[in-house]
Amino acid sequence: MNDKIQLKQDGRFFFGWWIVFLGFCLMLLAYVGFASLTSVFVIPVTEALGVGRGQWMLYMTIQALVGVVASPILGKLMQKGSVKKWVSIGCLCGAVAYVIFSQSHSLTGFYIGALFIGVGFAACAPMPVSILINSWFGGKVKGTASGIAFVGSGLGGFILSPLLNSAITAGGYSAGYLVLAGVYLVILLPMTLLLAVKTPEDKGFRRMGETETEVVDNSSDHEKRGMTAGQAMKTGEFWLAIISCIMVVFASSAILMNDIGYYVECGIDAAKAASYHGIMLGLLLFGKPIIGLVTDKLGIRVSAPLSTFIFAATFLVMFLFGGSPGILVAGVCICYCLGAPSITVVPPLLINGMFGEKDYGTLVGYINMATSIGGAFGATIAAFIYDATGSYVAFWGVATIGVAIAAVLRIICFAINKKNRNW
């Protein structure tokens, strides 16, 4: 049993680390492009089109709702078939969407492009990353491998924001979108075709870090332990997990799209506010591996509620310390660093811990669907609250309570699962 992190297996470099690298790049370039860089385009696009921000942001809601439909379907297809095929299709959809955006001079173009980008987001990240990592790494090292792969989302925001700002300054929003289209066609698509190998056996390796139970489950004459998607959906813990993911991402989408505006509201210079946003995302380079390591050492039953409570503290800091910019920025950066992994690293590990290996891809698809639901409305509602009250403070208070409840729900999930688990 290979239960430790190693670079080599049987004297050869373990190909699973190329899988981790691919996951890192998908999170760095695809996930960030879809989820975290919209703020870069808000002012250039709305000013060029002469429309309100709310009208334009509707494309993100369309994108997210398409993801709600696509995620469980793609999760099932990836579990039973080729991950490489569907991620490649996702890359092409993302590139098509950004080309459409680059040539759009009305809202209609953005709404049409949202249909493609919704499929692209569902197909590219984070779902395939979770499925591939789970195929190559077992319970003893899975959390660490996941943490390393998912950390790409933090570095991506730090790197791509200034790059896109430069492109937009030089050639308008069209140039920025063409840069993103090029990223998908020139970088991500070739990497996917080269590195997206579904199972260790396809390359003559064994899964790294398997527990004794996982070794038995993955033997050729043994059915994988766990529940089918249908069985899981009949349990209370499944729906509590879904609700917790919706609540966490609802809050997360709001902070990603509105933290700069809130910093400015609190008297921080706009340029500094933008740099603080980048620092917040960049610190995920440390936070995600830490939470992954905690998962490997203490278990997902500990890391899931722990990281979620810390994420709730992020919003509590924003709610309480708007009048103290230094404490505000430091508190947000520290808490977000260790709390944001509750959005990406934790959910697939949580699902695996409760329901096993049997129908993992399909269940991760449902989790991805839940995150799309939360992401569809969080940022928009935060903006509406700002329009109504002149401040984001009320939303941060609501988000604090909501994310704390999500943490409690994750504790309850495992309590129910431990009591009723029969596999």
Identify the band that residue 281 occupies on the pLDDT scale cut at 50, 70 and 90: confident
Contact between 3 and 13 under an 8 Å Cβ cutoff? The reply is no
Instruction: Name the band, by pLDDT with cuts 50, 70 and 90, for residue 421.
Output: low
Beta-bridge partner residues of 12 = 9
Per-residue burial over 300-333, b = 16 or more CB atoms within 10 Å of its CB, e = otherwise: bbebbbbbbbbbbbbbbbbbbbbeebeebbebbb
pLDDT computed for residue 223 by the predictor: 62
Q: How many CA atoms, within 13 angstroms, populate the side-chain half-sphere of residue 338?
A: 16
pLDDT tens-digit readout, 285-318: 888 889 988 988 888 999 999 999 999 999 999 9
Q: What is the CATH number of the domain that holds 315?
A: 1.20.1250.20
Residues 279 and 333 sit within 8 Å (Cβ to Cβ):
yes
Whose structure tokens read 């470099």? 13
In this predicted structure, what is the pLDDT of residue 154?
75
Residues 6 or more apart in contact with residue 194 via CB below 8 angstroms:
none
* 383 against 137, higher pLDDT: 137
- pLDDT number for residue 213: 55
Task: Count the domains in the chain.
Answer: 1
Question: Does residue 90 belong to any structural domain of this protein?
Answer: yes
Burial label, 66 (beta-carbon count in 10 A; 0-12, 13-18, 19+): buried
CA atoms of 319 and 294, how far apart (whole Å): 28
**7-48 pLDDT tens trace:** 888 889 999 999 999 999 999 888 877 766 777 787 788 889
Residue 36 belongs to a domain: yes
Of 70-84, 110-124, 303-317, minimum mean pLDDT range: 70-84
Under a CB-based contact definition with an 8 Å cutoff, are residues 278 and 36 in contact? Answer: no
Q: Quick one: average pLDDT of 335-351?
A: 91
Show the tokens assigned to 412: 């309850």
**Two structure tokens written together for 74:** 């793609």
112-121, 251-260, 331-340: lowest mean pLDDT where? Answer: 251-260
| Confidence check: pLDDT of 392 > 80 | yes
Q: Is 4 inside a domain boundary?
A: no
Phi-psi region of 81 (alpha: psi -120 to 50; beta: other; left: phi over 0): beta
The helix-helix angle for 53-80 and 127-136 (nearest 10°) equals 30
Determine the Cα–Cα distance for residues 362 and 344; give it in Å rounded to an integer: 17
Asked if the bond preceding 126 is cis, omega within 30° of 0, the reply is yes
Q: Is residue 142 part of a domain?
A: yes
Q: What is the DSSP letter of 235?
A: S
pLDDT at 84: 96
Q: Quick one: pLDDT band at residue 264, thresholds 50, 70, 90? A: confident
User: Residue 276 is encoded by which pair of tokens?
Assistant: 């603080």
Host domain of residue 225:
9-202+211-420
Q: Give a yes or no: residue 49 inside a domain.
A: yes
What number of CA atoms fall less than 13 Å from residue 81's CA on the CB side?
Answer: 10
Checking if the pLDDT of 384 tops 90, the result is no
For residue 9, what are the β-bridge partners? Answer: 12
| Mean pLDDT over the full length of the chain | 87
Q: What is the pTM of this model?
A: 0.77
Using alpha carbons, select from 12, 326, 28 the residue that is nearest to residue 149: 28
Quote the pLDDT of residue 95: 95
Residue-level pLDDT at 221: 43
Q: For residue 403, what pLDDT is reported?
A: 97
Give kind and range of the element (H or E) at residue 27.
none
**18 torsion bin: left (phi>0), alpha (psi -120 to 50), beta (else):** alpha
Helices (H) and strands (E) in the chain, counts: 21, 2
Tens of pLDDT along 194-242?
999 999 999 999 999 876 555 545 554 446 778 888 999 999 999 999 9
| 3 domain residue, yes or no | no
Q: What percent of the chain has pLDDT over 70?
A: 94
**Is 319 inside any structural domain?**
yes
For residue 8, the SS3 value is: strand
- What single-letter DSSP state applies at residue 137? B
pLDDT bucket at 397, cuts 50 / 70 / 90: very high
